[in-house]
């Protein structure tokens, strides 16, 4: 016969709370629902939650986070990164038994907040998945299948909780990688955040000039596709990863200055090497990812 504590955990076992039903939060909700979990959700956009309830993805709408009960095995914070800490502060005052995690593209600020406030049931997370689309209407249940999903455990986390989160993410098809939160922010700065800044710069160079826009073909559209992502999300990411990005931008500027100097000097060999090295690295990245 189950004792009282065991009954509490049995009740919690299949309940998941998702705060923020955008592309990522909505896709998580759909993936968890598909795997048999009971999903509850909160979002300032009531239409998103109501749509998810109509579709049978979400069972219950949480009107106010102040009313959250300690009944969830996992709670996912899926809001822009500059809003995540405020949500974590609210949830951690209510949820003591279950695991709280987030999906933010930067980890240092929220992990350091958790350390400072001894929120031992918070484990940082970040799925390396998404599209240029935003909103619940573009979410789908296979978004995370085969995708890398970073988690950034802290010394204050219980190892059993880390394993529980890993197991959950494996269920929806993620390739889970444990990583230090500072290293995470450097990696994502290089492979995700700086490319978004560069992509936006290329588009902004068009300045809505109709003749440029008219002839922008496949190559330009491919390299700038990510510029259609949420401006709010990327402004928040830029400020939350400010230190890393300032260093990377300087390095990128140095590369362009060096290229410009070689072009001005008619230094064909160095220009050729610039493109040759890029092709070699890019081909290896594509080959390794197959």
- Report the alpha-carbon angle 65-161-145, nearest 5: 80
257 and 274 in a single domain? The answer is: yes
- Those residues of the chain that have pLDDT short of 50 are 1-2, 4-9
249 and 119 in a single domain? The answer is: no
Q: 54: domain CATH number?
A: 3.40.50.720
100 and 205 in a single domain? The answer is: no
Structural domain span for residue 259: 185-288
Q: What distances in angstroms separate CA 189 from CA 79, 99, 146, one per listed residue?
A: 19, 27, 22
How many Å apart are CA 241 and CA 188, to the nearest integer? 9
172 close to 199: Cβ distance less than 8 angstroms:
no
Residue with tokens 């109709």: 210
- Report the alpha-carbon angle 199-201-27, nearest 5: 35
Residue with tokens 């001005």: 264
Question: Which residues lie below 8 Å from residue 259, measured CB to CB, with a gap of 6+?
Answer: 271, 274
102 and 236 in a single domain? The answer is: no
Q: 192: domain CATH number?
A: 1.10.3660.10
pLDDT the model gives residue 134: 84
Q: How many domains does the chain have?
A: 2
pLDDT the model gives residue 290: 58
How many Å apart are CA 234 and CA 230, to the nearest integer? 6
H-type alpha helices, 207-241 = 210-215, 218-224, 231-240
pLDDT the model gives residue 216: 74
Strand pairing class (15-19; 74-77): parallel
CA dihedral (140, 57, 147, 229) positive or negative: positive
């Amino acid at each position: 016969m189950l004792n009282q504590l065991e009954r509490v955990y049995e009740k919690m076992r299949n309940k998941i709370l998702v705060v923020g039903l955008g592309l990522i939060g909505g896709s998580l909700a759909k993936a968890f629902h598909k795997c048999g979990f009971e999903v509850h959700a909160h979002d300032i956009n009531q239409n998103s939650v109501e749509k998810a309830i109509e579709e049978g993805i979400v069972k219950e709408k949480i009107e106010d986070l102040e009313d959250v009960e300690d009944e969830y095995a996992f709670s996912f914070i899926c809001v822009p990164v500059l809003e995540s800490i405020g949500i974590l502060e609210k949830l951690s005052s209510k949820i003591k038994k279950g695991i709280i995690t987030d999906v933010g593209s930067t980890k240092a600020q929220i992990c350091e907040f958790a350390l400072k406030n001894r929120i031992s049931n918070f484990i940082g997370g970040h799925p390396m998945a998404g599209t240029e689309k935003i909103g619940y209407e573009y979410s789908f249940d296979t978004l995370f299948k085969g995708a890398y999903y970073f988690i950034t455990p802290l010394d204050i986390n219980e190892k059993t909780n880390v394993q529980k989160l890993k197991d959950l993410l494996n269920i929806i098809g993620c390739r889970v990688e444990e990583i230090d939160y500072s290293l995470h922010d450097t990696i994502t700065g290089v492979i995700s955040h700086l490319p978004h800044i560069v992509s936006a710069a290329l588009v902004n160079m068009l300045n809505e000039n109709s003749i440029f826009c008219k002839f922008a073909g496949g190559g330009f559209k491919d390299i700038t596709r990510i510029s259609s992502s949420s401006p709010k999300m990327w402004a928040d990411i830029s400020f939350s990863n400010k230190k890393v990005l300032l260093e990377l931008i300087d390095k990128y500027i140095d590369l362009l200055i060096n290229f410009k100097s070689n072009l001005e000097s008619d230094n064909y060999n160095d220009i050729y090497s610039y493109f040759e090295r890029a092709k070699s690295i890019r081909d290896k990245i594509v080959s390794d990812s197959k």
